[in-house]
Amino acid sequence: MDKLKMHSPNLTQDNIARIRDLFPGCVTEAKGEDGNVKLTVDFDQLRQELTDSIIEGPQERYHLNWPGKREALLTANAPIAKTLRPCRDESVDFDTTKNLFIEGDNLEALKLMQENYLGQVKLIYIDPPYNTGKDFIYRDNFTATREAFEKVSGDRNQEGGRLVSNPETRGRFHTDWLNMIYPRLTLAKRLLSDDGLILISIDDAEQASLRRICDQIFGEQNFVSQLVWEKGRKNDAKYFSIGHEYMLVYAKDVVFLRGRGEVWREEKPGAREIWSEFLRLQKIHGEDYAAMESAISQWYSDLPKGHPSKKWARYKRVDKNGPWRDRDISWPGGDGPRYDVIHPETKQPCVVPEAGWRYSTPEEMQRQIKLGLVEFRQDHTEPPFRKAHIRPIPDEAIEDQTDADEDVSEEDADAELATQVRGSYFYKQSQVAVKYLRKLMGAKVFSNPKDHEELARLIEYMTPLDREAIIMDFFAGSGTTAEAVMRANAVYGTNHRFILVQLPENLEDALASTTGTAKKTVQSAIKLLTKNARPLLLSEVTKERIRRAGAATLKDSLHEQWKKDVGFRVLKVDTSNMADVYYSPDALDKAKLELFVDNIKPDRTPEDLLFQVMLDWGVDLSLPISKQIIQGKDVFFIDENSLAACFDANSGVDEDFVKELAKRQPLRVVFRDAGFKDSAVKINVEQIFKLLSPATEVKCI
């Protein structure tokens, strides 16, 4: 019986296979360092394939390079023998939630999720360390000799540390940051769906470098926009007040995105409130539009000064399609068609506008009249006018007027709908998010959190065709992305789910290396965790924020289509559940064979094993899990019958049990190697499934 490999995929071999598909002559067989024959790339031949001139040596080309770049890419591709262990005690609604919170190094987490979420993530938002010289950045151990690493880094003393400061006086100021971000973005791209997008916050220090890295990883042609988020003036600046940050937006495949027909629009400020008031008045007055018009006029008048709905006061007429105002009915640009339009009361032809009618044919004009989208004046001496509603009317009521719309100005066309394209510049004072989070947490536990309401708007704006998208953030920090997803769902009726990753940084260590305001923030976080009897880790503060944000969201007005999922399933990056003998049986000292009767570490639970199997088989880690007892043995079922797992370790798995399990015809089934009653049962397992459930894939650990 085949065994599960129980480690993340070897992406190097996958990349070689892709090269072989494109250039078969550039992939050959050769012995590796371990003496085994494997596929490898003939790079000289590959370089020749990619040029129309003879290759004799390195060629000049436009690219971004830095010390350690190749090692960083090797780090992204190299497999790791680690796993994700579930933690029910720290989770919220573990059995039912679709959201994930992964605690651990994000590079390792991204590696582990490659098969589970390959091509499935719609939107990734990250807010990585900005490399200001004071922030902490990740230091990854590359697959290279210690001497080689130290030669490149020029730093022998701090090799191998998880987080290190990066002062500007350091010779590797940019290099360290680039080596940190490059492998993570490389792995992130593989998780994006074909219509997926990545949104990255950054400041001036690394904006230029990040833009060029993203051009290399995602392709320059897939650049969408560079947003500028203005957060407020800093009067203590010496030259210019730099109160803005950037947000780079890249698509996985912008051509595919356009082909999907996505059009990004957002509601104009104040429009939602007017529509809600219309729906309220409709329940009271029914089809008495005069009463509704009187009431909505009073509503406009009662709004406080500065309210965004005030500027919509022109939309005070009401019909079955909602609030509306009058619009010109003449052909834009002049020289429009001229025909008779009979006034319904006087039965005389209405005066034709000087520029001609807006609608190209009498038939289309009559269709618009029947739909109630043309309003006649008191008599025929003046032309009627069009109705412009605050919300788009049904598709069947919209005329396909290609010729006429070509001459419509942007302002004119935009006024017909209560939506708009976002600009690349927007303003939101940073202290709004700081004050909100301080109130939510009862203390200032994060120095510079992002605004969850702005991020919620962006999520809705960038996912117009998706109602249940996966949103990922592998620099979770304050947990803003999780609250933004919940907020977007609650307001817009979507059911997006989030996957967050956060490093369990030790706050006591951070306290020793910070000063001033930052030190006070860390002290507040430690006090909060101590009060709640939680470990003093940054990830614990993040989880506490998500718990409180979920509870707060449920107290607000909620969209009826939202399923109200404010939970999250906590998974922690840890060493593999499998003992070393599982990965290298040939290295086992035969004299100690009796010590390794079982190849699973003694401190691991059946649920630990289940999640490593889910990782190995590429199963969605948020699928519902149930446990049933079959013939006295615990059996886990994932998503009813997607996967069945029995990790019985008492040699109690016999043929009767296997037959009972096979009758349920699971898509996949996995057993513990040490759980079979004897060798005969293990040999017959596959035959039993071939007979009773031939579609089932059978493996063991």
Average pLDDT over residues 140-146: 46
Give the mean pLDDT of 25-45: 74
Tokens 């309220």 found at: 280
Could you report the per-residue pLDDT of 490-540, keeping only the tens digit for each? 999 999 999 999 999 999 988 887 888 888 999 999 999 999 889 999 999
Q: Cα dist. 559→375, 462, 562 in Å?
A: 34, 19, 6
Q: Residue 10 has what pLDDT?
A: 76
Give the type of residue at 632: G
CA 560 remoteness from chain centre: 23
CA nearest to 539, candidates 501, 510, 508: 501
CATH no. for 80-264+426-575: 3.40.50.150
Condensed to tens digits (0 to 9), the pLDDT of residues 395-449 reads 444 443 333 333 333 333 333 346 788 889 988 888 899 999 999 999 999 988 9
pLDDT confidence tier of residue 57, bands split at 50, 70 and 90: low
Using the structure block, give the residue that is written with the tokens 């039993």: 688
Query: 161: buried, middle or exposed (CB in 10 Å: 19+, 13-18, 0-12)?
Result: middle
Residues 6+ apart with CB under 8 A from 124: 188, 191, 192, 196, 197, 198, 199, 471, 472, 473, 474
Distance CA 319, CA 286 (A): 11
pLDDT tens per residue, range 285-332: 999 999 999 999 999 999 998 898 998 899 999 999 899 999 999 998
328 closest CA partner among 361, 345, 353, 311: 353
Domain boundaries, the chain: 80-264+426-575, 267-420, 591-700
- DSSP classification of residue 392: P
Q: What is the pLDDT of residue 133?
A: 64
**345 pLDDT tier (thresholds 50, 70, 90):** very high
| Higher-confidence position of 144 and 458 | 458
| pLDDT classification of 50: cutoffs 50, 70, 90 | confident
pLDDT at 197 over 70: yes
**pLDDT for the residue numbered 9:** 77
**What per-residue confidence (pLDDT) applies to 201?**
96
pLDDT at position 701, please? 87
Q: Give the whole-angstrom CA distance, residue 431 versus residue 449.
A: 9
- Looking at residue 692, its pLDDT comes to 95
Question: Model confidence over 79-129: pLDDT tens digits?
Answer: 888 999 999 999 999 999 999 999 999 999 999 999 999 999 999 999 998
Task: Determine the pLDDT at residue 493.
Answer: 94
Average pLDDT (18-45) is 76
Where does the pLDDT of residue 136 fall: very low under 50, low under 70, confident under 90, or very high at 90 and above? low
Answer with the residue of higher pLDDT: 563 or 410.
Answer: 563
The backbone torsions φ and ψ at residue 207, rounded to the nearest 5 degrees and listed phi first, read -60, -45
317-326 pLDDT, tens digit each? 999 989 999 9
What's the length of the chain?
Answer: 701
Contact 479, 451 (CB under 8 A): no
pLDDT given at position 256: 93
Higher pLDDT, 613 or 31: 613
Is residue 584 pLDDT above 70, yes or no? Answer: no
Q: How far apart are CA 145 and CA 482, in angstroms?
A: 39
Q: How confident is residue 673, by pLDDT bands cut at 50, 70 and 90? A: confident
Instruction: Report how far residue 58's alpha carbon sits from residue 45's, in angstroms, rounded to the nearest whole number.
Output: 13
How far is the C-alpha of 688 from the C-alpha of 691, rounded, in Å?
5
Lowest mean pLDDT among 29-33, 65-69, 381-385, 682-686: 29-33
Q: Which pLDDT score is estimated for 179?
A: 87
Give the pLDDT band (50/70/90) at residue 151: very low
What band does 60 get if pLDDT is binned at 50, 70 and 90? low
Query: What is the average pLDDT value for the chain, to the nearest integer?
Result: 85
278 membership: H or E segment, kind and range:
helix 271-285
pLDDT at site 342: 96
**What residues contact residue 581 under an 8 Å CB cut-off, 6+ apart?**
588, 596, 599
CA proximity to 555, closest of 544, 566, 543: 566
Assigned token pair, 119: 């091509």
Span of 17-21, 324-328, 405-409, 453-457 with lowest mean pLDDT = 405-409
Q: Which run of H or of E encompasses 634?
A: strand 633-638
